[in-house]
Homo-oligomer: A and B are copies of this chain.
Amino acid sequence: MIPTMSASHDLEEGTALTPKFDANGLVTAVVSDVASGEVLMVAHMNAEALAKTMASGEAWYFSRSRAKLWKKGETSGHVQRVVEIRIDCDQDAVWLRVEQHGPGACHTGRRSCFYRTVPLGQTGAVKLEFADDKTFDPNKVYGKT
C-alpha cells in the first residue's frame, strides 16, 4: 500500500523529529552511561520531557506512577548530563547517552536499575542473582525516615 509505505519511509529515513507517542503520550527512554555503555535505567518521556531534555541537556522524564514531569536528580542531586540523544527507526523510543552525576541512577541505591541477572538455560524455579552492590544509602539520599 503506497501511502503506508511512504509514511513509513518518512518516519524511518527522514530527518523530521516526529515521535510516535503511545496512547498515554509517552515514548520509552533507554539511558546508558556514555563511558561504560552500561544501561542505567528505562524511563518514559512525554513531549514536554523530551523538549526540556533537548533544550537543557539534562534528563527530564514523565513518571507514570506519579503522573508528573520530573527532572532526574531533583531530589537526589544525581542529575544526568545528556551527551547524545538517539531515536529509533519508528520513533517510539529514544536512547540517551549520559554522564551520571553522583553515585547512581537507581532509587534503590545502585548505580544501575539493572542490578540483578536472570539465569539462562535453567528449568523449574528461577532465582535472580545480584550483580551489583549498593553505591549509596537511598534512605539518606531520598530523605526517607
Interface size (A, Cβ < 8 Å)? 50
Q: Tell yes or no: A69 within 8 A of B by CB.
A: no
Q: How far is the CB of A124 from chain B (nearest CB, A)?
A: 11
What is the bound-complex CA distance between A65 and B122, given in angstroms?
A: 31
Contact of B128 with A15 in the complex, beta carbons under 8 Å: yes
Point out the residues of chain B lying under 8 angstroms from A87, CB to CB: 114, 116-118, 128
Smallest distance from the beta carbon of A15 to chain B beta carbons, Å?
5
Question: Which B residues lie within 8 Å of A85 (CB)?
Answer: 117-118, 120
A15 to B122, CA, bound (A): 15
Residue of B nearest to A122 (CB): B54
Q: A126 with B32: in contact, given A89-B108, A108-B89, A120-B82 (CB under 8 Å)? A: no
List, in ascending order, chain B residues with CB within 8 A of A126's CB: 17, 54
Determine if B88 and A120 form an interchain contact, defined as CB atoms under 8 angstroms apart: no
A48 lies within 8 A of chain B by Cβ: no
Question: Is A143 on the interface with B (CB-CB < 8 A)?
Answer: no
Question: Inside 8 A of A107's CB, which chain B residues have their CB?
Answer: 89
Select from chain B the residue with minimum beta-carbon distance to A44: B28
A93 partner residues in chain B, CB cutoff 8 A: 42, 113-114
A121 to B54, CA, bound (A): 6
